[in-house]
């Protein structure tokens, strides 16, 4: 019998063929249920895999430790990204799904970016809502044309847009096919993010 999967998670099987599964990664204080409605809207009928972050900050789940807002514990980011990539590989076996498209928000987008740094073959693509540079050196592997959508809020007080621009540049230099959208919004998700994600999935043949 396969070992039990190491993250608390939700899984919804696909109800339509031919769509990339989505890996949903919540923000600080969220859980595995948070992004399911957004996943269903962005790619109706796709399989949804949604783990809960294993780090607790004052009772709020996260995907890695930070020393202060925007100041990451890089050793922990590295270790947690490897653990999450291992979970995704095991869950793909258990649920018989293909490589997912990561769809992360805030802290969830940052751990997805860290996996792009370390094990990019984990994903068929990535949608990073409100992401920043996750590690203190450049990506370790070639991203080999992997499609990545980054959306930033020009009024985001938590993630400065300049940081997302640097993230886009580093991923692009490592070979990712980057699309970076900047919207006149704050840290919260908006309809503009949802529509951009829908178009990007369709344009890259990863969604309907």
Q: Restricting to residues 73-92, which ones interact with ligand MLT according to CB under 6 A? A: none
Q: Restricting to residues 109-128, which ones interact with ligand MLT according to CB under 6 A? A: 110
Q: Restricting to residues 48-77, which ones interact with ligand MLT according to CB under 6 A? A: 66, 69-70
For residue 159, the minimal CB distance to ligand MLT (Å) is: 6
For residue 70, the minimal CB distance to ligand MLT (Å) is: 5
Exposure string for 71-108, b = 16+ CB within 10 A, e = fewer: ebebeebbebbebbbebbebbbeeeebebbbbbbbbbb
Find the length of the chain. Answer: 208
Is residue 164 within the footprint of ligand MLT (CB under 6 A)?
no
Q: Which of 90, 137, 106, 97 is nearest to 25 (CA)?
A: 106
Q: Which residues are catalytic?
A: 106, 156, 187
Residues that contact ligand MLT, how many (by CB under 6 A): 9
Q: Which residues form the interface with ligand MLT (CB under 6 A)?
A: 27-28, 66, 69-70, 106-107, 110, 158
């Amino acid at each position: 019998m396969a070992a039990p999967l190491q993250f608390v998670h939700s899984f919804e099987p696909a109800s339509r063929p031919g769509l990339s599964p989505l890996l949903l990664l919540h923000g600080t204080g969220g859980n595995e249920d948070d992004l399911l409605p957004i996943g269903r809207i962005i790619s109706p009928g796709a399989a949804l895999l949604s783990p809960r972050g294993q780090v607790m900050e004052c009772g709020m789940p996260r995907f890695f430790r930070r020393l202060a807002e925007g100041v990451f514990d890089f050793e922990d980011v590295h270790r947690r990204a490897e653990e999450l990539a291992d979970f995704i590989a095991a869950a793909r076996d258990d649920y018989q799904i293909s490589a997912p498209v990561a769809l992360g928000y805030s802290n969830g987008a940052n751990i997805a970016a860290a996996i792009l740094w370390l094990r990019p073959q984990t994903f068929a693509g990535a949608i990073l809502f409100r992401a920043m540079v996750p590690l203190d050196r450049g990506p370790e592997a070639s991203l080999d044309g992997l499609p990545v959508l980054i959306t930033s809020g020009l009024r985001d007080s938590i993630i400065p847009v300049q940081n997302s621009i640097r993230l886009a540049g580093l991923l692009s230099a490592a070979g990712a096919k980057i699309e970076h959208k900047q919207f006149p919004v704050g840290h919260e998700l908006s309809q503009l993010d949802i529509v951009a994600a829908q178009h990007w999935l369709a344009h890259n043949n990863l969604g309907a």
